[in-house]
Amino acid sequence: MPVFGIGTWRMGESNRDRNGELDAIRHALDLGYPMIDTAEMYGDGGAEEIVGEAIKSRKERPFIVSKVYPHNATRTGTIAACERSLKRMGLERIDLYLLHWRGGSRLEDTFEAFHRLKAAGKIGDFGVSNFDTDDMEDAARVDKGENGANQVLYCLSRRGPEFDLIPWMEKRAIPLMAYSPLDQGGLLGKSALKKLAVEAGCTTAQLALAWLLARPGVVAIPKSSTRERVKENLGAVDVKLTPQILAELDKAFPPPKTKQSLQML
């Protein structure tokens, strides 16, 4: 799985924004973005339709991540939901398929469906999203082979997963996909981040993303609907952070000292 991609949360919700969103994804692919993250929840399938249109007719398609609604995550419902997602995107396979969050369906049933989809070649791998440490432990008891990924809210201003979730995942080589890595833009106005970005020779967005990319096993998927921000975000891949800047970031955005419940947006 690539360590960087474009997210599509809140895309596909309005026809008025569709052309701009489609252009942003196409531009991301033209620049070399290796991955797109989406879900059946985003725009009630609208985001997946935009993804499908963006990747249509391309010689090389990006790594595709999508997610199943918890209320669809039954043994048969998961398979049906996956088939709908494949149809919306015009694909034969989703590279990574995630349970969007834990709901009423039994993990045993969801994982059984995931295995059936994988055996049929409909998905390349599977994982979860918004799972805290206790949820991951439950998932491991149900399916010891579950190590595709866990997508959670994680960024400089929301470092709670570092206390126990990330160490637990690192021991098992499970990647963490960081959604809302700029805290929905909230990080961009932080004075400490602005100051350190000048020292690092990059923008505040690039610094926040580079911090994530410097952490082992972490994948960043910033969403953007403009060409300018798409290009800016990709520049984070080339930012090299010195030990001094990393230390200053720890001072400005301290890591957790106690267990924090996993946050969700």
DSSP β-ladder status, 63-68 and 35-37: parallel
Please give the order of strands across the beta sheet that includes 35-37: 6-7, 35-37, 63-68, 94-99, 123-129, 150-153, 176-179, 218-220
Residue 211's Cβ-side half-sphere holds a number of Cα atoms within 13 Å equal to 29
Token pair belonging to 129 = 């999203």
pLDDT for res 57: 87
Confidence at residue 162, expressed as pLDDT on a 0 to 100 scale: 98
Reading the block at residue 225, the tokens are: 């609907």
From the list 42, 69, 154, 179, the catalytic residue is: 42
Domain ranges of the chain: 6-187+216-238
pLDDT for position 163: 98
- The pLDDT value given to residue 17: 96
Q: Is 154 a catalytic residue?
A: no
Mean pLDDT by 10 residues, the chain (265 residues): 97 96 98 98 98 95 98 98 98 98 95 96 97 96 83 98 98 96 96 96 98 97 96 97 97 97 94
Burial 175-205 (b: 16+ CB within 10 A, else e): bbbbbbbbbeeebbebeebeebbeebebbbb
Angle at 189 between CA 221 and CA 191, to 5 degrees: 120
Rounded to two decimals, what is the model's pTM?
0.96
User: What confidence score (pLDDT) does residue 146 get?
Assistant: 64
Q: Classify residue 144 by its DSSP letter.
A: T
The CA distance from 103 to 106, in Å, is 8
Which CATH number applies to 6-187+216-238? 3.20.20.100
CA distances for 215 relative to 18, 79, 105, 166, 220, angstroms: 34, 34, 33, 10, 10
